[in-house]
Amino acid sequence: MQPSISMQLNQRMEQRMLLSPRMIQSMEILQLPILALEERISQEMEENPVLELLEKAKNETPEAEEDKQAEEKEIDPDGPLVIEEDGELDFNRLEALNKDWEDHFNEEHRPSRNGVEEESDRKHDAMQNMPAPAPTLQDHLLEQISFLDVDPEQHELLEYLISHLDDNGYLVEHEPSLHVLDLEELAKKYTKPVTAAEMQGALDLIQRLDPPGVGARSLEECLLLQLKPDTPQRDIVRTLIMQHLEDIEHNRMPVIQRQTGYSLAAIQHGIETIRHFNPKPGAKFSAENTQYVTPDIIVERNDSGDYDVRLADDWMPNLYIPRHWYEKYKNPNTDAATKKYLKDKLQSAEWLYNAIRQRRNTLIKVTKAIIKHQRAFLDQGPDFIEPLKMQQIADQVGVHVTTVSRAVDDKWVLTPRGVFPLKRFFGGGKKNEMTGEEFAWETIKNKLLELIADEDKSNPLSDEELVEKLQQSGYPVARRTVTKYRKMLDIPSSRQRKDWTK
């Protein structure tokens, strides 16, 4: 029996949430921290010739600057690129915003009044005076070997070994396993005939370079390379490194004393010397370890005792779209290919312009709402932080909770209390059933740090004892919570915190 083949036309109803290209870009711009936004603007200015820099006159106020920007670029109020009334990303109006932009540039654009007749190279000014990238560990070592009195073959061998150093300065295999290299194995992989002894000679040269400890194949070797002839208690320190690193890690001082015969005071002095060594000598050259915090928002206390919120973007390049690009697009003598090119570039520029404005409005509103909730934190200190959820801020500002999440992501705020990530002000809490008072988990962490800082180091507090003291202070928490927070704060156990010399 042959199966029947038929064609049917069915109708079904379904709901879909579609994001317009402008909405997607607005969310991306909102999530960028200030340095990433500057890079994004610089990249856009390189790729988009219709974007220009608005030069700020000396002593020009921010209000005057905004008025000047409005003169230089006016958007058709009936055009689809005008942002929402309150400047926010409204996730409840996605369908309304998801419209076809294809015919946008068939609409009339109101020309700006102060046109710029020629394209300027001023856009490149924003990228001037960028700091040169910091030298890598390999760069640092290659510069040093250039001063060594070695023949070309040995110099090439030194370069080969340097290429096998990881970011911490250790000699490892550049494979997923990252296992420590055997010099005989490394010699076999070299492109020219070389013995393990020659490899060792080249490695000895590298291990005498700066930083001390570079070129090691293990933590033990790295620390031993940092021993100097004048190191205090050199023999004791050497013994501790070679035989008792694990005991030091777990604070097993009596074990070390029993096996070495050294006094507790001598062992403690030796450990203090080791703590001044660098177990990762190459890490300081890693770009990942050089983190600079640039505040996106500044919160300042005014004369009335309230707090003012402003964005820290005064130095950001100010963008505008010169009038002559619109005129060229609307000119009937402009050929079709140029019109299409200008349409894409003008649309991209307007989207970026509006997305940056949306970002400013959203960040200001969200931060003001956060500061209003965390007034006690700013007035009295971190111990007075209040439990706060992002949904609370979203409800107050009138945006979707994901907008708040993107707004605070990777953003930093400069306050009279210091510089904090915006996410620092969010967190859950717990209610004291006895008093009815609600307190934030951040408060418990601060109290935990305070208790451990004040403890008797010869008899440090166990987790059970910490629970009791927290409960006495009005913070009823479970032991597992104390253990979890202790580990989050990188606080060792009571045994590891014990000072055996007291």
Instruction: Report how many helices (DSSP H) and strands (DSSP E) the chain contains, helices first.
Output: 22, 8
| Residue 432 binned pLDDT confidence (cut-offs 50, 70, 90) | low
How many CB atoms are located within 10 Å of the residue 85 CB? Answer: 7
Q: What is the model's pTM?
A: 0.56
Hey, is 41 helix, strand or coil?
helix
Q: Buried b vs exposed e over 174-189: b needs ≥16 C-beta within 10 Å? A: eeeeeeebebeebbee
Residue 415, strand partner residues: 418
DSSP 178-214: -PBPPHHHHHHHSSS---HHHHHHHHHHHTTSSSTTT
490: left (phi over 0), alpha (psi -120 to 50) or beta: left
Nearest to 495 by CA among 272, 267, 249: 249
- Mean pLDDT along residues 17-26: 64
CA distance 161 to 199: 8
Structural tokens at position 491: 């606080």
Q: Does residue 383 surpass a pLDDT of 60?
A: yes
CB 213 within 8 A of CB 278: yes
| Residue 88 binned pLDDT confidence (cut-offs 50, 70, 90) | very low
Structural tokens at position 400: 């979707």
Residue 332 is given by DSSP the state: T
Question: What is the per-residue pLDDT across 295-342, written as a single tens digit (0 to 9) for each?
Answer: 889 999 998 889 999 988 766 667 788 888 888 989 989 899 999 999
Looking at residue 493, its amino acid is S
How many CB atoms are located within 10 Å of the residue 311 CB? Answer: 18
> Radius of gyration (Cα) for the chain, nearest Å?
32
Question: What is the per-residue pLDDT across 215-241, written as a single tens digit (0 to 9) for each?
Answer: 999 999 999 999 999 998 999 999 999
